[in-house]
Structures are given as structure tokens and as C-alpha cells.
Amino acid sequence: MSTSQTVEGAASVLPCVGCGGLVPNVDGPTHPYMAASPGCWRVYGEVSARSHREPGSPAVHWYQVDCYAAQHPGGAEHDRRQRQSVAVHLTSLCLLLEHGMPAVGATTRRGRMSQTVLPRIGLPDWPYLVPPASHGAVTVVDVHHTTDQTEYAVQVKRWAEAVWTAWSGHHHVVRQWASTALGGPA
């Protein structure tokens, strides 16, 4: 967990219920099926806005979408949206990190994965992947602290690698899904 970094200007902080990053202790909206504290959801919104506002690689934005979703999986085993989100975002991280797929390619595949992969693997819906005990040592808070685009891109890549490593117990099945997404055997 990212305990060394906190969000500047926060009167008080607490660990996010999802990623464990130290985020502002605030009330506010959260995601409907991701497990995130309101302060973490706010920090992610600021990071996302920054990625759209500042010049730089648009690919970085897609990495952070996958990272945040996989790092805040929620615990609702029976929520189809939660299962799909984790499966699709982990598969996208696999395509990005292990297959070197350009972000635009992974994004296109991510949008169609439920329609293309599920039928080929013979499942009616994504299975529940039990979340890891730790979701990775790098969080959205670490990305939030970056001061320039180069540092930002490096930290997002570190975040992606940390999240992917955290889910190593499911790599075998996610790699099969990635292979299927690429047109390989189911």
C-alpha cells in the first residue's frame, strides 16, 4: 500500500478501502461497484482530468483506467458489472504490459471483450476473481503527486506493473483471455 504519500491540503486522511492509498477523509460520491473511498474517487477524478488536460501520451490515460478499476475491485461476487470490470481491465493490462499492445488497440479490444472473448471461451459471463490481499504498492495517490508529464508517465507505468503483479494469482486465466482476445485459441 502507498502509505508514504498523502494528498496535499487534506485536513485529515485515511486509507482508501480499495487501494489503501492515504486519501482525503471526505464525504462524497464513489463508484457504483468499485470499492473506493470518496477521497480516492476524488483523487482519481483529478488525475483523470489532468490526463485529458495536459499534453502527453494519451496512452497513459488508458493505463490508469485499467489500474484504477483493477485496484478497486469491490467485493460483490454476485455483481456482474464488478466481475466484468475486473476481468476486462486485467486482460487489458495483460495486453498492454505483456503483449506490448498499443493503448489504442487495447482500448478497442477492451470495449468488445465481453462480445468476443466470452463466447470463444464458452462462458455465459465473467467469473469472479478473488481479489489479492494487497492491490499493489503504487496507487493513484502516487500518480497524483507527480509534477511533470515525464514523471507522470513513469509513475503510471509503475502503477500498472504493481497492479498486474498484485493479481499474479490469476495471471494464468487472464493470459488465456488475452490470447483469446488476440485471436488465439480459447
What digits encode the pLDDT tens for the residues 133-185?
Answer: 999 999 999 999 998 888 998 999 999 999 999 999 999 999 999 999 988 76
Q: What is the pLDDT of residue 10?
A: 56
Share of the chain above pLDDT 70, in %: 90
Backbone dihedral angles phi then psi of residue 15, each to the nearest 5 degrees: -70, 135
Is position 119 within any domain?
A: yes
Total count of domains within the chain: 1
- The pLDDT mean for the chain works out to 88
Cα 124 to Cα 84, 117, 156, 171, distances in angstroms: 11, 10, 33, 21
Strand (E) or helix (H) holding 23: strand 22-24
Q: What is the pTM of this model?
A: 0.89
Domain of 113 in residue numbering reads as 57-181
Q: Is residue 25 part of a domain?
A: no
Does residue 45 fall inside a structural domain?
no
Asked if residue 90 belongs to a domain, the reply is yes
Residue 145 lies in a domain: yes
- 69, 85 contact by CB (below 8 A): yes
Q: Which tops the pLDDT comparison, 178 or 60?
A: 178
Question: Does residue 24 belong to any structural domain of this protein?
Answer: no
Q: Say if CB 1 and CB 139 are below 8 A apart.
A: yes
Please give the pLDDT value at position 106.
77
First to last CA, the chain: 35
What's the pLDDT tens digit per position in 110-134?
878 888 888 888 888 999 999 999 9
